[in-house]
Structure 1
Amino acid sequence: MAAIAAGGSIVLSIVVVLCLVGVLLASPLGILFAGGGSGPGSVSPSEAVAQINGELAERLEQMQVDADCDRLEITGAPPPWPEVLAVFAVRQSGSAESGSPAVLDAAQVEALRTVFWDMTKLTSEKKTVEHPASGSAVAWTEEVLSVTITPRTPDDMRVFYQFTAEQDQALDALLDNSELLASLAGDLTISSQAAKDLLAALPADLAPERRAVVQTACQLVGKVRYFWGGKSLKIGWDDRWGTLRQVTAAGSSTTGTYRPFGMDCSGFADWVFYNTSGGEYVIGHGGGAHAQHTYCTPISWDEALPGDLVFYPGDEHVGIVGGRDEAGDLLIVHCASSANNVVITGKSGFTSIGRPVYYSE
């Protein structure tokens, strides 16, 4: 009942589905609707999905390095996450060493990782591409690694894992309700303990619009990877997040590589204010971090309040003031390339602060 209360309608729907196929709520299937647990080291399904998506990109990058190729070409895509989660849950329900059903902990994440890679086949071929001379450009040659990603289907995994008749029945029920599992992979429930602690420490008299900005920012902590040039003006979870895409925006060392789609720092700030305002306000009005800075009033660090914006020198990076730690030092919520995710850190690196005109409009 506590898990149902914590997870809302998505949790309730999944519980109903599982009951229909006669699966006990105490089984390891419960890890999919336990809200990520609250113990040390527990994570939410959406955090685990983001982590494994990043590992796929890292493996592809390492394949290119090992093959000593100039460029990577990708064909195909990994299996949809609802299918992976369904197979994982059913496999764990038949495992004698499945771990605690109440949390998705390190052992469970490792089991999920195993299922993902069992369902994801990578094959590669190295080829030499000749580029003829054209105009003033001379002819040149490049080595290309062509990687094909072939997903294995849930039916493949029934055989591979030798599911019982009861497990087959449970898998059918989960696949028939794949939209519920998709909601888990893109859940906006605040699950990061650091984010929960930050919100709990917000001043009681904080203006509602500022509190809403910080709460919205915390929804993505640990769940959305950094992607150079990544933007999203969508209310709620963007289904493109986590899908493997090539970085096409110029100006980054990652340009041309394949990574899980996400957002850059200014894209994150835009998404937060866009969602907080119900789709009515874009903090940068279509620009990047510099444009966002121009729509702020300069303030001193002592005046900082949760929801204000902070910037690196030259507006190379932007973050949102989330609050203060026990020592009174500022905490910043931002999508950081160094962490490759939405994180909460101190203000190191940020040299200026501004108050968005959003709060006075």
Structure 2
Amino acid sequence: MFPLNTPIQLSHIKLKNPFIRSAVHSFLGTEDGFMTNEEYTMYDTLSRNHLALIISGHCCVLSGGLANKEQIRIDNDNYIAQFSKAADLIHKNNCLFIPQISHAGPRAVDTDDLYDVTECEIKKNRYAKRLSIEQIQIIKKAFIDAAYRLKQAKVDGIQLHAAHSYLLSRFIDESFNTRTDEYGGSIENRFRLCTEIIKGIKKTCGKDFAVAIKINNDTNADNQKYAADMQYVIKKCQQLDVEFIEWSGVDFINQPRTSSLYYFDRINSFAKLSHLPMSIVGGIKSMADIEKVLSSNIKLISLGRSLICEPDILTKFAQGKTTKSSCLACNRCFAIPHLHKNIRCILHWKKLRKQQ
């Protein structure tokens, strides 16, 4: 039986089932960081279709850390009201809402003055300078302040974006982090900024405020060493009362279209190490994929591109209308919004063109 009514109790929030909408940049925001009616409609549609939790696309916490020109922002109080509106829409449909907060680091598009964990050359002849301790403290405070604003908006918690080569992930991964101070070297030091942010959020927003984190399960460098590092991260997250870890990967965008459950074996091995709930994202395309996850040690399932293609895919699964998503895993959802405003999937564009 499809588990739409199988609740999952986390540390501070209860999910009505294991299904999460993973953070996906929508390309629907304005260039000054506000949600549009199309964004609200997206949230309403998603939450009406059996998801237990929606994680927003990553939201910028600080000027100089913007990842996309139309990225939603939460770096000052003017942005609080839009999250309240989104939370109200989602809550009416018996779904929870956790915004993801992020700093783009050297991938920022709103500054030419780029900074990274350590000094480095960026693609296209761009260079990033090494962050000072003082700058790290400013960034840490920005994350904590963003979480406090979101608590005022009455969301259900936040997720730290520590994956996909954004700034926090670059601190964690020693292929980027070659610092020799308290933020570099050992995994304890490399995870220190995340630790301090989580502690600061819990202190400012209250111990019961839910904090989740998204992390890469792998690296482009020494994967065996990285896996050992993640054992520390898992234990530390449990100590910090993290709600759940959502595991992604460095190469999800390059996976073959026919692949599924890209990182299942490693994430399942991580899930054996701890009672801390974990979610898997990446290549979950079918009922068979879902059944495999639910029969493993992994408690939660995060969906991304399949929900861009079919926001009602869980409803279709539950009603027996399909056993597999129509998503092509073509990754054109990263490009087509730039070509056709408010269109997020190539199949939607083809359908619209055919109708016209």
Could you state the TM-score of these two structures normalised by the residue count of structure 2? 0.25
Larger radius of gyration: 1
